[in-house]
Amino acid sequence: MSNHNELSNVIICDDHFVSVVGIEMLLGQYLPFPLNIRKATTGKKAIELFTQKLPDLLVIDLGLPDISGLEVIKKIRESSILSKIIVLTGQSEPQLLRQVYQLNVNAILKKINSGKNLEEALNFLKTKNDNIYLDSSIQSILDIQETYVPTRREYEVLELMSKGLTSEEIADQLKCSIPTIKTYRARIMDKSSTRNSAEMISWFLKGHGK
């Protein structure tokens, strides 16, 4: 992989030819570096290309003809946390989009908005920002179904709490201080309108925040 600010080695995974051509043209406009773009029309091919050489950037649709884009992202994140991932989708299902949100992707965009928003997302990716770029349509969909979507770190804390770990054990696993974990717990409690750890865990296990 090249320098984290240089998104020059790219995989595009989409089974629609017109979409692939459009994405390729946009990347050529917005990325100033000489581009090496590899293309996949199936999830399995994307994983194969990924295994051959880790890309700086994967641009992927969720609706693929063999395995879902969601499954592709899961498999890719098992082998690499460094590659940037932009999801371009026509999907509007809140539960699916929340699952994508939790998979350490870097941006989620609606296909119909991909022109200007792709440029903004690419600039966002170059800032070392740990947050996720969501275009306004995706953000609105997430807000409709669930007013509170945990951040990545809040989600990790909730997941470890649900496994019975104490604040001390969570702090040790996430490599941060105990007061930091307690701050996260207080923030989650406030945002989820729960009153104690038991209610937070119950709220999480019922599928909220996922």
pTM score of the predicted model: 0.67
CATH number at residue 176: 1.10.10.10
Residue partners of 195: CB distance under 8 A and separation at least 6: 189
What pLDDT is recorded for position 7? 85
Which strand (E) or helix (H) includes residue 92? Answer: none
Question: What is the torsional sign of CA 95, 138, 112, 31?
Answer: negative
Structural domain contains residue 2: no
Same domain, 48 and 63: yes
Q: Is the same domain home to 170 and 111?
A: no
d(CA 18, CA 38): 15
The answer to whether residue 35 sits within a structural domain is yes
Same domain? For 121 and 194 the reply is no
203: how many CB neighbours lie within 10 A of its CB? Answer: 18
127 and 164 housed in the same domain: no
Shared domain check, 77 and 121: yes
Inter-CA distances, 37 with 56, 58, 196, Å: 10, 10, 50
87 and 185 in a single domain? The answer is no
The 3-state DSSP class for residue 53 equals: coil
Same domain, yes or no: 37 and 60: yes
Same domain, 44 and 137: yes
Quote the domain boundaries for residue 191: 152-205
Same domain, 160 and 141: no
Residues 82 and 107 in one domain: yes
Residues 6 or more apart in contact with residue 163 via CB below 8 angstroms: none
DSSP-assigned letters across all residues of 118-165: HHHHHHHHTTT--S-EE-HHHHHHHHHH-S----HHHHHHHHHHHTT-
pLDDT for the residue 145: 47
Sequence-separated (6 or more) residues with CB below 8 Å from residue 190: none
Tally of domains in the chain: 2
* Predicted pLDDT of residue 209: 60
Dump pLDDT digits (tens) for 10-37: 999 999 998 899 999 999 888 877 889 9
Q: Which tokens sit at 75? A: 């498999």
Residue where a domain terminates, one of 93, 117, 145: 145
Residues 139 and 156 grouped into a single domain: no
Identify the residue whose tokens are 């199936």: 42
Dihedral of alpha carbons 127, 148, 60, 43, sign: positive
Do residues 136 and 165 share a domain? no
Per-residue pLDDT of the chain (210 residues; tens, 9 = 90+): 544 457 889 999 999 998 899 999 999 888 877 889 999 999 999 999 999 999 999 999 999 999 999 999 988 988 877 889 999 998 888 778 888 888 889 999 998 777 778 988 988 888 766 788 998 888 887 775 455 678 888 889 999 999 999 999 999 999 999 999 999 998 888 787 788 888 888 888 877 665
